[in-house]
Amino acid sequence: MKSFKIALLVIMFAGSLFAEDLFEVKWQYSVGGLDEVQFSYSYSYTPGGGYDYDGDGYADLVFYYLLKADQKYQTRIISGATHEPIFPAINSLGTTSVSQAIDLDQDGTPDFLLSNFVYNSDLRIYEGAVQVRSGTDGKVKWSVNISSITYPSVSFADFDRDGRPEFFFTTATANSATVYVYGQVGEVGVRNARGETPHPTRMDMRAFPNPFNSNTFIEFEVVRDGTVEITLFDTNGRMIAHRKMDNLKTGTMQVPLSSLSPAFLPSGAYFVDVSQDGSGTTRQIVKLP
């Protein structure tokens, strides 16, 4: 009995240390007029990180729930700035997952990977599709149908370090397992804020490591003695940093990103543009959280 009283006093004392008005609801989003909801969950990330789907600089929120009556799943992406959906709900019949935002087709706007699979209990396989969708309107840009005895998890990485991300997933049959790595057909450079492609011709350039944590190196070939300019853009085509280097000699150069970027560069996707006398190359780089 004595130990119980001591514990009660400790709990009462600890409770008095916390301010009752320390936190409050800043905003909320509710969906009305639904059938009975069986479950729901949500997730996001730090501002400037990998969940800025509409490219406005605010972290957005993925809101996912299952309607019990018809087993229909709905996914909504809620703007961190307006607290309203960026585009209409995505309806699906199976388990759905949404990746971080990344410009997969390098058109200067964020995309995301959406995977949706239904388990066929008769055949004992997962059937569904992996889709590349636009972060601004949610529309499907590309899709591939998949069937597998295991659930195909989807992710992305820059395997060949060319500044363009690839995405990959694994499927399995009764006798084999295969990993598929998809990359963009051809190459499309970043477009600036005026919708123009910076350079019609190319320079040899790469970034390594990419993705990176604290710093990466921009390596490029100086075609001829002279001036080279390096520009860093965000995914909306806004210039973040610029460096002009005069009197360079022909050959290979390596420049750390830290020498031209702001002291604090938030995690997320960016474009590095290297140019000389009207020729240049643009690569996407990704800073990890």
- What's this model's pTM, rounded to 2 decimal places? 0.58
pLDDT at 261: 67
Residues 189-215 as b or e (16 or more Cβ within 10 Å = b): bbbbeeeeebbeeebebbbeebbbeee
Q: Which two tokens stand for residue 229?
A: 């300019």
Residue 107, CA atoms < 13 Å, CB-side half-sphere? 12
Tell me the C-alpha to C-alpha distance, in Å, between residue 210 and each of 104, 124, 207, 242, 253. Answer: 14, 39, 6, 20, 17
The CA dihedral of 35, 43, 133, 169, to the nearest 10 degrees, is: -110
Distance CA(237)–CA(197), nearest Å, equals 10
Distance CA(120)–CA(227), nearest Å, equals 61
Series of mean pLDDT values for 10-residue runs along the chain (289 residues)? 46 54 87 71 61 84 81 86 91 84 82 89 88 90 86 82 80 83 60 41 70 85 86 80 88 86 77 78 79
pLDDT at 16: 52
Residue count of the chain = 289
Distance of CA 129 to the CA centre of its chain: 19
pLDDT at 85: 92
Distance CA(88)–CA(23), nearest Å, equals 31
Distance of CA 249 to the CA centre of its chain: 37
